Amino acid sequence: MKKIDLHTHSTSSDGTLSPSAIIRMAESLDLAAVALTDHDTLDGIQEFLSAAKQSKVKAVPGVEIASTWNLREIHVLGLWVDHANSELGELLKKIRGNREKRNYEMLEGLRKSGFDITLEEVKNEAGGDVIGRPHVASLLVKKKYFKTIKDVFGSCLARGAQNYVSRILPEIAEVISIIHNAGGIAIWAHPVHRNKSNCTNVKSDIIHFISLGLDGIEAYYPEYSEKQHKMLLKYASELNLQITGGTDFHGEILPSISMATGRGNLSIPETVYTELKNYHLKQFKRL
């Protein structure tokens, strides 16, 4: 059985491969399906879908949207979204505007901490409209302030670190609703990987999100332990939720994560894609 990867990022956000190169890599790996889920943007979807027309790989247009709930940042994957939907486009534009404000404040803080770094340099590093912390981290490594991107995050850019600046984000209920209005299904991305030691509240959180319209959870992810993976599969079965999975592939900016296999031991079967697609068709009567 072939494998799939339904969580990847391109140069349209903070990945290092173009949207068409994502398709080419998926084809070289003999994947059955791949989703492009760039952060808070749909700019790469048209190129992604066009490249897929010349490939046997099934392409899923998607997006990863940062939202907030109960003072926490929750990421939601929208799969099979209409990339021309104006309501979704306006939401993402607003989120990117808030991101730009955060970036300005973050760079001001870094300069005060002694780092010689400008917004123009970070924009050049990003090469696109979406600028994120990985681009800042990559530039700081190139400027030889740190040895690795991981070192940058650990020292100053991770949540709680000296130069971290939070973002203004939409409520998860709004994000789920707009994804549905754009013809997509809403998936809670990596629900446990940032909380490895304590997962006691995950099930109650999922139940609450279901009341808001959540369609599924990301049950396959490279940062999960086997126990966490089995736990999420169990919850999905008990709560009649869809499951999906992906590597969160970013290319060279996160070289330890490979498409399809994550850190080398991830394997997401094609049946996950088939069941998810059938669910989507039943929900929206469209691809």
Mean pLDDT of 67-72: 92
Inform me whether the pLDDT recorded for 287 exceeds 60: no
Counting runs of H as helices and runs of E as strands, what totals does the chain give? 10, 7
Determine, yes or no, domain membership for 248: yes
Mean pLDDT of 77-89: 97
Judgement on whether residues 61 and 9 belong to the same structural domain of the protein: yes
Judgement on whether residues 74 and 194 belong to the same structural domain of the protein: yes
Judgement on whether residues 40 and 140 belong to the same structural domain of the protein: no
Total domain count, the chain = 2
Determine, yes or no, domain membership for 163: no
Judgement on whether residues 195 and 126 belong to the same structural domain of the protein: no
Model pLDDT for residues 103-156, shown as the tens digit of each residue:
889 999 999 999 999 988 988 888 766 778 888 998 999 999 999 988 998 999
Model pLDDT for residues 172-221, shown as the tens digit of each residue:
999 999 999 999 999 999 999 655 445 668 999 999 999 999 999 999 99
Determine, yes or no, domain membership for 280: yes
| Cα→Cα distances 194→111, 159, 187, 217, 272, Å | 28, 11, 17, 15, 24
Q: How many residues does the chain have?
A: 287
DSSP 96-142: HHHHHHHHHHHHHHHHHTT----HHHHHHHH-SS---HHHHHHHHHH
Determine, yes or no, domain membership for 162: no
**Contact by Cβ (8 Å): 81, 62:** yes
Judgement on whether residues 175 and 118 belong to the same structural domain of the protein: no
